[in-house]
Structure 1
């Protein structure tokens, strides 16, 4: 069922501040991907009921020229999907849009006409500038909009030991802004909803809808992963069996478990040890992990680190892997798990509620502190078990276990459409 069949469907102001701030990045983060996919979807399905807006670092909120924003979205999407050299096009377009926010703008009669008498929705699917409630208030006031943000997780508040020192108070301000202004909230999982609801309850706003909508699998990357350009990428030139670990190198992701385990596997299996491919930029609170990556002689040539790989190459790596290893202590969702399962790649992951939501019966769940259990599971998948125990077969995906981005966003906008139908226009 489409959310765009009704004449009463809302007019959207989609905030793309996050991807504009990342215009110079060659590889997207998970939140970057979410904002990009919402922009693509709305460009395709509701261009006549859509405007883009953003916040400048100097704290000015403004709408963006639609055609120029579309061009930027196309350019950054191509860059992040394929990693192909674009001559700096995405960065130039993004920087020009940011600069234009500071310039005086004439009244946009075309946008006003497109909005017509429709109810307006201000949609913010990143955490960008939620620490600045005055900017959120400005965006809402501009069209008397309903405000629907996405809260990806509450990890800095639940596990402050894994965050930078300044991040817990910053995230508390974000949640306070959401609780104060949101007419409804999108979250990627039931686990995140359970974490967020008490903040609304404490503020006396229990009736604000919180909608768990799983994030989509980026099938655009997986579908094109066999191209000649991708297959010739240096990271894919390998014959030795390997496992993949995806995610920023930070304490919460638990890379240390894998590195210590791999050092032990080398001692036991020597040349038969599968390789470990770590894909992700270097984050924070990771000194011991970096020391092991750079200085451990036993891991040299066995463990590889790649800080910046395009989505197509990552998809191909996952396709050829013995398995994805995901030993995080906490996640708001877990896109690598969903993407690996979509490709038919076995997954060994932490035994945490959000991973059960995604993987259901198709993943292997282990205590993120139980190194022995992880070692045995990895040995089984790599056919290194004593007695040659066969790998555990992968259970088939269940109906609606994974969503495409089209399905995910359509579901989210269906919720919003229902909210709009129930809301007065003033």
Structure 2
């Protein structure tokens, strides 16, 4: 196989700032696990980049895996030592750089310099949300993301899309803007975390879980409105809601509500810094994962829940139907009454609605990293032929 290089800049920044892994990070970590034995690490800043030796790459990859797989229990000095011992070098002509995080691709000199030096770039596209739904994103994100897409379309040798929906969006963007789409594959994402096996539920009584960064497109406000109405009617006997995810952007109103314990009478809990081991335990005993997003590039928590046998109540998004088929219960993300009715129905111990989804769950075809990398390896082989 040709020399493989992995851009791990975003993963290393996550360690430096002690962040929990998002879906994008989980994907990048899967690439470190799959290719790390033979690949070399690449670091970049504002389009300037360098590779490190195989030996230094092993150290960096080990630090990355220990941090993200061991709930953040790694000291930053270990990362500093690995970086300080990393001698810089160029990426070899004939090599292939796999870029899995979007981050840094807005600086086109990154891809341009690699192309000029005979290096193939394979770029993963997670979504086009900053362009298709700019109002949900930070100010300026649309312009940055467009530069990333233009770099990928004009200078990369191959594209990895996490879903057919994402590839269709990118193909449409390319056609509208005069670009040719490089050779591309759809490689579905496997779960990034496992459901726990704890026999005992973390709390008593029926509860539901939401997983994801607190940001407008995740639609936390709808679910909090549902809970406000249930608490007004049922008081402390209302089912519980567990919100797992760090604070994002344009979400000050949601954060204020989550912190207002008196309003929820003990029925809503927020965990902004939840380790993966605890996340798996919360999902294991939930009545359902609630996923009312307005838009998604993939929706990894849905795949994680279904893989672990946990029912899902979700927005009716084409990308979810692409891999989850008809298994979840799908609702309009604006239909508060329907969400409330379904949540109350699922709260019952003998819920027929929940039992019906559990029966459908046996048909779920679990996406695996093995199948994902079969697609990616095929693309890499075609580029080298």
Same fold by TM-score, threshold 0.5 exceeded? yes
1:316 has 2:281 as partner? yes
**Of the candidates 226, 231, 234, which is equivalent to residue 266 of structure 1?**
231
Correspondence 1:9-408 to 2 at 5 A? 9-24=1-16, 25-44=18-37, 47=38, 50-56=39-45, 59-83=47-71, 85-86=73-74, 88=75, 91-98=76-83, 105=88, 119-142=94-117, 144-202=118-176, 204-206=178-180, 208-218=182-192, 221-222=194-195, 225-226=196-197, 237-295=202-260, 297-383=262-348, 391-394=354-357, 395-398=360-363, 401-408=365-372
Change (3 A) 1:146 1:281: same
User: Structure 1 residues 313, 403: closer, same or farther in 2, change over 3 A?
Assistant: same
Q: Distance in 2 between matches of 1:274 and 1:188?
A: 34
TM-score normalised to the size of structure 1? 0.83
Offset from partner CA, 1:266-310 (integer Å, 9 cap, x none): 223333311100000001111221221123633141111101112
Q: Secondary structure at the match of 1:297?
A: helix
Q: 1:202, CA displacement in angstroms? A: 4.0
C-alpha contact (below 8 Å) 1:20/1:98 kept by paired residues: no
Indicate how the Cα distance of structure 1 residues 148 and 84 shifts in structure 2: closer, same or farther if over 3 A, else same. Answer: closer
Q: Is 2:157–2:183's contact at 8 Å kept on the other side of the alignment?
A: yes
Q: Greater CA deviation, 72-81 or 344-353? A: 72-81
CA distance in 2, matches of 1:317, 1:194: 34
CA distance in structure 2 between the partners assigned to 1:26 and 1:334 by the alignment: 20
Instruction: Quickly say closer, same or farther: Cα 1:335–1:31, change in 2 above 3 A.
Output: same
- In the TM superposition, residue 160 of structure 1 has moved relative to its aligned partner by 0.8
> Which residue of structure 1 lines up, in the alignment, with residue 382 of structure 2?
418
SS at match of 1:32: helix
How much does 1:71 deviate? 2.4
Q: 1:379-422: CA deviations, max 9, x gaps?
A: 1111189xx765342203447x322223322322222212322x
Kept after mapping to 2: 8 A contact 1:218/1:404? no
Distance 1:84 1:121 in 2: 30
- Kept in 1, the 8 Å contact 2:114–2:120? The answer is no
| TM-align CA RMSD | 2.5
Q: How many residues align?
A: 382
Larger displacement relative to structure 2 (68-77 or 35-44): 68-77
